[in-house]
A and B are shown apart, each in its own frame.
Chain A
Amino acid sequence: MNKQLSIKTLTDELEKVEPDLLGLSDHGPDAVPILAKIFRDVGIHPRIREKAVYVLGILPGDTSDLIREAAGASEVRLRRAAAATAANLGPEHAGPILAQLIEDRDATVRHIAANHLPVPSRRTMMTNDVSAEKVKSGSSVPRSYEPDGPEIAVTTVRFQQKDLVRFQFYVRNSNARVRIYRVIHQTQRQILVDEENKNEIGIDLPDFPSGQHLLYWSFQRVGLIWQTCAELNVNGICRFRHRKDSDGSDPVNKGFLFLEVDAAKIGKSGRSRRGNR
């Protein structure tokens, strides 16, 4: 434990108008329990507690449990800081937190959450990046459009701009109103689909700029019993498949997936590979 670290030293730093974030980050994991105490202590100035949450997100190590705790706090300042810093955790941890905060009751929190979605990760990303060799050989390549196929549990799918990318959503035992949209950096949402009375929807995703994007979907079902399956297929290969049902452990009517789009390389066949299914 760094002997110089204490609630006093950290609150002194956080009280600064322009705190030294790099210096705070250098304290490393030793600072985590102290910052946790600061943000939980209702006797400390609310602004200092808000800053403590933000700094927790930029420290090395997994602080996602604390950011998740802040994201569920009753004080809007703490949720706001959780939204602002969650992206620093990397997509695998940030995704569920930001997906929760995008639906927050406070407009500022919602806006910050949407604003911070497409950010570069400084931590390991859980991606489903099927290698070209694997595709070529056909070995263990997940087949597309099989809602009963094995689930592919990833939070990020990476592909190139030239790739044919198709999102497929199935609803069983109930028709539903289905919305699919892209959360856009600094603005709001680009609606890709909003259709009623559907049990299957498939769309070819439009060209997205290179970078990170959030694909988000939700549905309103008619029946009480339902099953859904969401698939993302890249060049005919399933890269993401997730099922939900009304009896499952997470029976909420929404889902999300991070997309990491690489700029298309010149000289390839381009989007002429796009076809109809």
Chain B
Amino acid sequence: MRQIRLHFRLVPPPGVPDPIADALWHIQSGVGDWIDAQVASCQLAFSKVIGDDTDGQLEIVNADDSKNADFPSKALVISCNGGSLTNDQILLFKDRDGLAGNDILVVVAAASGSAFDGCAEHPPDQPGVILFADTQDSEWLLAHELGHIFMGPDHFNSSNNLMCSSTRGIPSFPGFIPELDANQIQQILATSRAMNQ
């Protein structure tokens, strides 16, 4: 069975410079619950990949090691159109303390001001994604960004698909799980296999 471990690191918003205010932000913002929901959605979204075939099994797990490992509070500046990464992105992903091999760093930031809700662009051999927790209320944001890690930057036209360009467009009725087609599943398996070697 292949396991993809996610390591969450938070970037609190500017204005919470001390530990007490920082702790209050964690509680008041509900970012912990948001992360739990995103991980649960990931496990659902990739459940189709976890098959009976031993070779096809893939498990997404939260390493749950984010305590006391937050980055300094700031408003991140990111770029996510296939060009150069910003200094913020380079510095964040460079810090892989506590991460093994191809573990994925998930940076959850509070505010952006820019046009991106999330981004999966990262330096080579430093897999990671950035999510803005206050941007959209999509439950599939993390799963979508992990999809980019596994399958590359392309989007899918169908709003039923996990890799639809707008995750808010994915149906939200209870029990619905975004689709992954056979080709996408093969890509996920191939990438996760490589990441586990």
Residue of A with least CB distance to B136: A47
Which A residues touch B118, using CB under 8 A?
A: 17-18
- B interface, size bucket: 20 to 34
Q: Given A111-B14, A111-B75, A186-B87, does the pair A17, B144 have CB atoms closer than 8 Å?
A: yes
Find out whether the CB atom of A47 lies under 8 angstroms from the CB atom of B113.
Answer: no
A66 within 8 Å of B (CB atoms) = no
Find out whether the CB atom of A186 lies under 8 angstroms from the CB atom of B74.
Answer: yes
B118 CB to closest chain A CB (Å) equals 5
Find out whether the CB atom of A17 lies under 8 angstroms from the CB atom of B116.
Answer: yes
CA–CA, A99 and B69, complex, Å: 33
Find out whether the CB atom of A16 lies under 8 angstroms from the CB atom of B111.
Answer: no
The list of the 7 closest CB pairs from A to B, nearest first, reads A107-B15, A84-B113, A111-B14, A80-B113, A15-B166, A16-B165, A112-B75
Over the window 133-146 of chain B, the binary record of Cβ atoms lying under 8 Å from chain A Cβ atoms (1 yes, 0 no) is 00110100100110
Which B residues touch A81, using CB under 8 A?
A: 113-114
Find out whether the CB atom of A108 lies under 8 angstroms from the CB atom of B13.
Answer: yes
Of residues 42 through 100 on chain A, the ones whose CB sits less than 8 Å from some CB of chain B are 45, 47, 50-51, 54-55, 80-81, 83-85
Residue of B with least CB distance to A81: B113
CA–CA, A45 and B114, complex, Å: 15
Residue of A with least CB distance to B121: A18
A243 within 8 Å of B (CB atoms) = no
The contact of A112 among B81, B113, B141, B155, by CB within 8 Å, is B113
B119 within 8 Å of A (CB atoms) = yes
B30 CB to closest chain A CB (Å) equals 17
Over the window 2-18 of chain B, the binary record of Cβ atoms lying under 8 Å from chain A Cβ atoms (1 yes, 0 no) is 00000000000111000
Q: How many residues of A contact B (CB 8 A)?
A: 30
Find out whether the CB atom of B116 lies under 8 angstroms from the CB atom of A19.
Answer: yes
Chain A residues with CB under 8 Å of chain B are 12, 14-22, 45, 47, 50-51, 54-55, 80-81, 83-85, 106-108, 110-112, 115-116, 186
Q: Given A17-B166, A111-B14, A111-B74, does the pair A50, B113 have CB atoms closer than 8 Å?
A: yes
Which A residues touch B24, using CB under 8 A?
A: none
Over the window 165-197 of chain B, the binary record of Cβ atoms lying under 8 Å from chain A Cβ atoms (1 yes, 0 no) is 111110000000000000000000000000000
CA–CA, A84 and B76, complex, Å: 10
CA–CA, A16 and B114, complex, Å: 13
Q: Given A47-B136, A111-B75, A115-B77, does the pair A18, B116 have CB atoms closer than 8 Å?
A: yes
Residue of A with least CB distance to B119: A18
A106 CB to closest chain B CB (Å) equals 8
CA–CA, A116 and B77, complex, Å: 9
